[in-house]
Structure 1
Amino acid sequence: MTPPVEQRVRDLRLDRRALRVEHARVSWWRRIVRARLDLAVARATGPDVLGEGVAFHLPLEVGVTVPRPAELAAVLDAGQAGGDIAQLDELRALDARLATYQAGVEAALTRATERLIANLADDPGTASQLLHKPLGRG
């Protein structure tokens, strides 16, 4: 039978692992939503012209490589601007919900970490043994 301290530590390590994975997932989704927001705003406003006002401050070989406004607009696929503007509120609301969820996951991960540390501090003699054992609920 597994000693209670060892079981608590194993369970907390598993909890932390699951929370770290979930934190990575929600962070990834937030990056996607924010990228969509950035694209929607960029499509609605159009790209700023690069190189204006600084052309004479740059070496010639750098200045001739600046992308033209039409090239930048093509990257944004500016023909779809209307749909993106309509989605701005929806994307912002989704990002806010993801931010709230992410904060909750981060708080749960912090609590699990604190509980793990407290349990390890209760029995420091077994801490190094427990941390080298593979994780599993069984």
Structure 2
Amino acid sequence: MSSTARTDSVALYDLRRSRTALRAESARVEHWRRLLRARIDLTIATAALPGRLGENAGGTLPPASMRDLRDHLELVTALQDSGAPPELGSLGALRELDHRLASYEATVSEALGGATDELIRRLAMDPSASLHGLLEILDPR
């Protein structure tokens, strides 16, 4: 195998590893953003809780449905974090954190796109390059 082919295969291997790491990082930041957005939604929703369930149903529901009706206090408690309602004052900090994560996510996405584009460009120029170095990776004797 020529030294050029070996260098290209190592570069492709490193490029693939970079893409794998970037995909994992992208998934992590996406998960964190989902958690933050959920926390923001819960903070806003619990600041203005709906009224008691069944209060205005006044015989419009079948009697059997009442067995599934939860106690209002039980519902409110289920939405609280450690027994304390979320504070509306924390919304600004949560939104700022989400904004920073969105910026980081965009950076990760751009890097992943660049690595993907480079991998595609290289493989389009030389499709057999995807096979170079494969034996060394699988059996590095």
TM-score w.r.t. length of structure 1:
0.76
Cα distance between partner residues in 2 of 1:132 and 1:63: 67
Q: Following superposition of structure 1 onto structure 2, how do residues 100-115 of structure 1 map, counting pairs within 5 Å?
A: 100-115=103-118
Q: Is the 8 A contact 2:19 2:116 kept in 1?
A: yes
Which of 75, 79, 84 is 1:80 aligned to? Answer: 84
In the alignment, which residue of structure 2 is the partner of 1:116?
Answer: 119
> How far did residue 117 of structure 1 move?
0.9
Q: Following superposition of structure 1 onto structure 2, how do residues 1-138 of structure 1 map, counting pairs within 5 Å?
A: 1=3, 3-47=6-50, 49-50=52-53, 56=60, 60-62=63-65, 64-77=67-80, 80-81=84-85, 84-128=87-131, 134=137
Q: Quick one: structure 1 residues 113 and 59, their matched pair in 2 at CA, closer, same or farther if it must change by over 3 Å?
A: farther
TM-score w.r.t. length of structure 2:
0.75
Q: Is the 8 A contact 1:43 1:84 kept in 2?
A: no
Identify the structure with the greater helix proportion: 1
Q: Quick one: structure 1 residues 63 and 33, their matched pair in 2 at CA, closer, same or farther if it must change by over 3 Å?
A: same
> How far did residue 48 of structure 1 move?
5.1
Cα distance between partner residues in 2 of 1:69 and 1:133: 64
Q: Is the 8 A contact 1:15 1:112 kept in 2?
A: yes
SS of the counterpart of 1:14? helix
* Structure 2: gaps spanning 5 or more residues: none
**Is the radius of gyration larger for structure 1 or structure 2?**
2
Q: Quick one: structure 1 residues 116 and 65, their matched pair in 2 at CA, closer, same or farther if it must change by over 3 Å?
A: same
